[in-house]
Chain A
């Protein structure tokens, strides 16, 4: 699946470290399993050689890490960004969350990353090792000596199936060719929900959101969620922890989370990726994106640095909230 190799990345990073362009490298390191690759800071060429990992599970979007890491570095920090990550990068710059001068961006091409829950759905639990093998992925499990071979395209993460852009919108250096913004079907599922009745939608979301365990991983991973003090950490907010089933709190958390990033969410897909309960959080974010596109004109957060987010903007001709429901695409 991947065009670029680990060795190419390591040699590029080593070169930039050795010639003093950067003083550390933000890259992927090994986690507990082959599929839980962990964002890691590498300070030396030796560390890179020993610990750098690049495989089908390098989904993590590093932009957000720059907020804390760039300030700590003496020199520049090298960051490897996939096309979708560069949108978050621009959005963070727009919000003045880190200093552009402290970062050296190497854009890397991306053919899509795998979703381990899809792998598990095919191979079951007990995965010992996963390795890439051209268009296939070899999975060795506890229960079988021979690796199970699956087609990488079958386990592509949702956000990669509906990838919106292969184009890097920010970089200092690009490995591979410049990509293109692509037409995706990412709003199809939102439209399908919109076509349901209110009762059906309620049942759908009740089913999805009641699984939430309030681990806050979706917030922690989100590059649009970078407040130092978060409402969800306030013990007096009434929404700081898991509530009894069937209570509105389940939805309240999700409305607040999605609303806080509305107009700033780049649809990078990190929230859905990290959710241990596989809640389709992207369907909430995309609803806001779709609405904003339809009400106020197409807007892609992070496309450029310095754009004004639609919800902190207005025109005197905006449509009335009541008209939202009178549009052709009425939900009822």
Chain B
């Protein structure tokens, strides 16, 4: 019997206008990135309520990444600037509570950056895999 290799579960919040299209482009170009990256499409990176991130962890995600348009390129002019501040504060707090900072990331990926999308996901998955399963944030009540 083959022992299953550990594969981290990653939740990626992607903004509709840039990063989601970037993911699409990665797919069209046949660029490989881990199948365990679950993409959730959001209208703008600033739609990501910090609660979404906490919930993802609570339900067993091992890493959470937010992708949005490059600063200055937001479809709604300034959404990602707010994301930037919010997530800086939140991730710093998670780290302060002892949740490894490598498990959270914000990355700006445009619709033309399919290659960057795939590379980012590969790199993030590798980093999270090296940390192992997320035990600190899971909520046993939420586990199936």
* Residue ranges of A at the interface with B (Cβ–Cβ < 8 Å): 193-194, 198-206, 238, 243-244, 246-249, 251-252, 255-256, 258-259, 262, 284, 287-288, 291-292, 295-296, 310-316, 318-322, 324-325, 331-332
Contact = CB atoms under 8 A, between A and B. Distances in A.
Contact of A314 (B85, B94, B101, B142): B85
B47 to A, nearest CB: 15
B88 A324 contact: yes
Interface string B79-97: 0011011111111111111
B54 A252 contact: yes
B92 A291 contact: yes
A332 B96 CA distance: 10
Contact of A320 (B84, B89, B96, B101): B84
B141 A243 contact: yes
28 contacts: A194-B96, A199-B98, A201-B97, A202-B98, A205-B97, A238-B58, A244-B141, A246-B140, A247-B140, A248-B58, A249-B141, A259-B93, A262-B89, A284-B93, A284-B96, A287-B92, A288-B89, A288-B93, A291-B88, A291-B93, A295-B89, A314-B81, A315-B81, A319-B88, A321-B104, A322-B106, A331-B95, A331-B96
Contacts of A259: 50, 89-90, 93
Contacts of B78: 314
Contacts of A198: 95, 98-101
Interface in B80-133: 81-82, 84-101, 104-106
B1 interface: no
B30 to A, nearest CB: 28
Which of B82, B91, B97 is packed against the most chain A CB atoms within 10 Å?
A: B97
A280 B138 CA distance: 23
Nearest to A327: B92
B137 interface: yes
Chain B: number of interface residues, binned into ranges: 35 or more
A314 B96 contact: no
Nearest to A249: B139
A318 B78 CA distance: 12
A252 B139 contact: yes
A193 B82 CA distance: 27
A198 B93 CA distance: 12
Nearest to B50: A259
B71 A331 contact: no
A314 B99 CA distance: 26
A331 B137 CA distance: 19
Given A252-B58, A259-B50, A201 B96 contact: yes
A249 B89 CA distance: 20
Given A201-B97, A288-B93, A332-B101, A296 B58 contact: no
A316 B96 contact: no
Nearest to B108: A320
A315 B72 CA distance: 11
A194 B15 CA distance: 32
B96 A248 contact: no
A201 to B, nearest CB: 4
Contacts of A203: 98
Contacts of B13: none
B84 A255 contact: no
B54 A202 contact: no
